[in-house]
Amino acid sequence: MLKWLGRVVLVLVLAVGGFAAYVNFKPWPHFTPEKIALKVESSPEKVARGKKWAQLLCAECHMNRQTGRLSGNDMQATEFGDIWSLNITQHPTKGIGAWSDGEIMYLLRTGIARDGRYTPPWMAKLPHMADDDVESIIAFLHSDDPMVQAADVQNHVNTPSFLSKFLGTVAFGPLPYPKEVVPMPNTSDQVAWGKYLVFNTDCWTCHSEDFKKLNSMHPDQTPGYLGGGNPMPDGSGSIVTTTNLTPDDEHGIGKWTEAQFVKALRYGIRPDNTAVRLPMAAYTVFTEDEAKAIYAYLRTVPKLARANAPRVTTPPPANADTGQKRYYQYGCNTCHGEKGTGPLCDLTHNKENYPTDEGLLAFIREPWKTHPDTKMPSWGELIPDDELKTIAQYVRTLSVEPPVKPPEPPPTEAPKQE
């Protein structure tokens, strides 16, 4: 019996080792994409709505913070590997400028690129989004908006971890292309509208228990749905866990009023008068009615008594001046990093973008007035003005000098005709 038991164990070890080697060394999954005949009719309204969805779904990962274009970005080393998002501008070879409307639609629905490559599991797939909204995203990607203009940026080669390869082999895979038209939600039904918004944004993916357990076809069947606890990096390199959004009174948002939720979502100010911090941000791109609809839906999801982890705080350097201490005290480093080059916004160009001190202060106080689609909290409601000024003074020290433009050569006279 011992001999037979040893043989069984040996077979199991060889089988597991062989499967692990297969997963580790096999190429990234490829599939045969379907040919989708689609021509999106563009309009200013469609482009504007598509831009809004792109800001919610695409810009977080694909936007280069220096150029403002969707030319790809370093996603930082995580358990999924050393990952860079791709160039999705209109460049004909390095971006998606040569892609047809049908190819983009098929990618967004199923996760399969036009060359058959399966996009990684962390890229959003949109099986529940209405056809009109997906077409709006496509219209935006083909528009003349500066975010999507061709950027001559070569894509980086990603190095997925064994975990990514394993999940791509046994857990995640292409989603089915819808066989029927996906309609727009009924916006007169707040709960249904809110569910649509939660399903089609990163609310449920980030605020559920674990990225590795997401159920894209049935989000509300995901383990720990909206109960928080997912580990994510902030701009300072610390790992924080997402918060509980279920209506649990003690650990979730059960005691939050509608007005408090709207303020936290749109302006980044929580009921305890503190600011949200990365990986969460303010989302002024949501209208007040949309924020109310999301709140109405969240009130209907099952309560989960998952306690939120303590907020991560990083102490300032020992030799920090008053402004730098305030910068850390209020968590500016969690979005902007120690040197002002964090993932949410690059502060090193603040002299170029805000030449006057008053202009910089006005932006920090009420950023949404300068940039209606900003993700920065309204700090004027949270920080006394004298402290805001010391923070602004410190921010100035992070700025690099704007490039000096060479003088334009004098116009040359055209040769006179004989």
Domains along the chain with CATH numbers: 44-170 (1.10.760), 190-298 (no CATH), 322-398 (1.10.760.10)
238 pLDDT tier (thresholds 50, 70, 90): confident
Which tokens sit at 244? 């509980």
Written as one letter, the residue type at 374 is T
**What is d(CA 73, CA 79) in angstroms, rounded to the nearest whole number?**
17
Query: What radius of gyration do the chain's Cα atoms show?
Result: 24
**What is d(CA 86, CA 336) in angstroms, rounded to the nearest whole number?**
22
Phi, psi torsion values for 178, nearest 5 degrees: -55, 135
Residue 157: what pLDDT?
Answer: 76
Average of per-residue pLDDT across 55-81 = 81
**What is d(CA 73, CA 55) in angstroms, rounded to the nearest whole number?**
15
Residue 411: what pLDDT?
Answer: 59
207-231, pLDDT tens digit by residue? 999 888 888 899 999 999 999 998 8
Average of per-residue pLDDT across 264-280 = 88
Predicted model pTM: 0.82
Of 74-88, 113-127, 197-211, 251-265, where does the model show the most confidence? 251-265
Q: Which of 109, 343, 122, 119 is nearest to 230 (CA)?
A: 122
Q: Which of 322, 316, 311, 340 is nearest to 235 (CA)?
A: 340
Which residues sit opposite 74 in a β-bridge?
Answer: 84
The single-letter DSSP state of residue 416 is: P
Residue 379 contacts residue 330 (beta carbons within 8 Å): yes
Of 62-71, 158-167, 289-298, where does the model show the most confidence? 289-298
User: For the chain, what percent of residues have pLDDT higher than 70?
Assistant: 86
Phi, psi torsion values for 306, nearest 5 degrees: -95, 120
Residue 373: what pLDDT?
Answer: 75
Which tokens sit at 167? 């999940």
Q: Are strands 81-84 and 74-78 parallel, antiparallel or unpaired?
A: antiparallel
Written as one letter, the residue type at 177 is Y
251 pLDDT tier (thresholds 50, 70, 90): very high
Average of per-residue pLDDT across 404-417 = 58
**What is d(CA 343, CA 54) in angstroms, rounded to the nearest whole number?**
17
Which tokens sit at 394? 């410190």
Average of per-residue pLDDT across 98-120 = 92
313 pLDDT tier (thresholds 50, 70, 90): confident
Q: Are strands 81-84 and 231-233 parallel, antiparallel or unpaired?
A: unpaired
pLDDT at 256 over 60: yes
Lowest mean pLDDT among 26-35, 140-149, 399-408: 399-408
Report which secondary-structure segment, H or E, holds 231.
strand 231-233
pLDDT at 404 over 60: no
**How many CA atoms does the CB half-sphere of 272 hold within 13 Å?**
4
168-197, pLDDT tens digit by residue? 666 567 889 999 999 999 999 999 999 999
Residue 110 contacts residue 176 (beta carbons within 8 Å): yes
**What is d(CA 90, CA 69) in angstroms, rounded to the nearest whole number?**
10
* Count of residues in the chain: 418
pLDDT at 317 over 70: yes
Residue 413: what pLDDT?
Answer: 58
Residue 163: what pLDDT?
Answer: 65
pLDDT at 382 over 70: yes
pLDDT at 11 over 80: no
129-148, pLDDT tens digit by residue? 999 999 999 999 999 999 99
